[in-house]
Structures are given as C-alpha cells and as structure tokens.
Amino acid sequence: MRLMVVGTPGCGKTTLAKLLGKKLKLKVINEKDFALQNSIGKFDDSNELEIPLKKFEKKANEFLSKNDNVLFEGHVICETKLKVDKVILIQVDPEELEFRLEQRHYSIDKILDNVFCEGIDYCKKYVQRNYSKNKIILVKSLSNPGLTFANALFLLQK
C-alpha cells in the first residue's frame, strides 16, 4: 500500500501519518526530510525549505515505483501527482487551526497564510485536480487525534 497524507500545517497530518504507519506497518516519509535526503530544494531567506515540486514528484515517484508500504506526508505535496493508492486529506476548522498554530508560536503572517489556505480549501482543490475521486479520502481533524485516526482508518478500509 502506498498512501499520502496531506493538509494545511497544524491540521494533524504528522500525528495521523505516524499512527497509520504504526497500525498498517508503513514507512512514514515526511516531504521535507525526503527533499533534504535527496538534495531537492534550498532554504530561502526566512529559513523555509523551498521544494521544486516537479523535481520532488519525479524523485518520489521513482522511490514509490521501487518501494511498497510507504506513507508520504506533508503540505506542499498536495500539489504533486504521486503514484499512491489513496490520498488522505485532513481538513480542520479555520478557527481551530488558528488556535493550534498560535500554540505552536507561529508568526502572525504564517497563521494568516495557513488559515486562509484552509478557508479556501487550497489543498482540497489541488488534490481533486490531481487524483480521481476514488483515491481521495476526506478526514475531519478532531481535537482528539485518536478519533481522527479511527475515522481515517475506517474510511481507508471502506
């Protein structure tokens, strides 16, 4: 099985990916870690890793063609077309997202950017463009990660 978990920063993708990885015995790969390990991208002036998506997509698909039982997780990969069996898109209420990002001490600009992206369904629009409906699983991020996980697992096994 090859999965992808995507969503806005702060929605719970890393937590969900780790839980799914453990339960389904999948190797969990973070987009930034994969990019750095494969010398894809560079850090900008604000120390953010800028990932060239086409280069990332090519390298990730090469990896996926040789490996099974993998789960990629990240935010920007919602814009890619990876050769995965299912895409789990986590959505969160924008006000809840704002609270979570404040708790993580994000800058006000990053909070506003991410809340805006969630509010306009940025990731959802890209996922729907890049993947067929039968590959997409929409999961609501709940305040209890265990419930989010149980819901995602249920929908995945449907």
pLDDT tens for 10-64 read: 999 999 999 999 999 999 999 999 999 999 999 998 888 999 999 999 999 999 9
Q: Domain count of the chain? A: 1
The first and second tokens of residue 144, run together, are 């209890």
CA distance 145 to 140: 10
- For the stretch 100-127, what's the b/e string if a residue is b when 16 or more beta carbons lie within 10 angstroms of its beta carbon? bbeeeebeeebbebbbebbeeebbbebb
Whether 158 has a pLDDT exceeding 90, the answer reads: no
Mean pLDDT computed over 135-152: 96
Task: Identify the pLDDT of residue 47.
Answer: 84
14: CATH: 3.40.50.300
Torsion of CA 32, 18, 66, 55, to 10 degrees: -20
Cα-trace Rg, the chain:
15
Per residue in 64-73, pLDDT tens?
999 999 999 9
Task: Identify the pLDDT of residue 86.
Answer: 98
* 141: containing domain: 2-156
Task: Identify the pLDDT of residue 10.
Answer: 94
pLDDT tier, 104 (very low <50, low <70, confident <90, very high otherwise)? very high
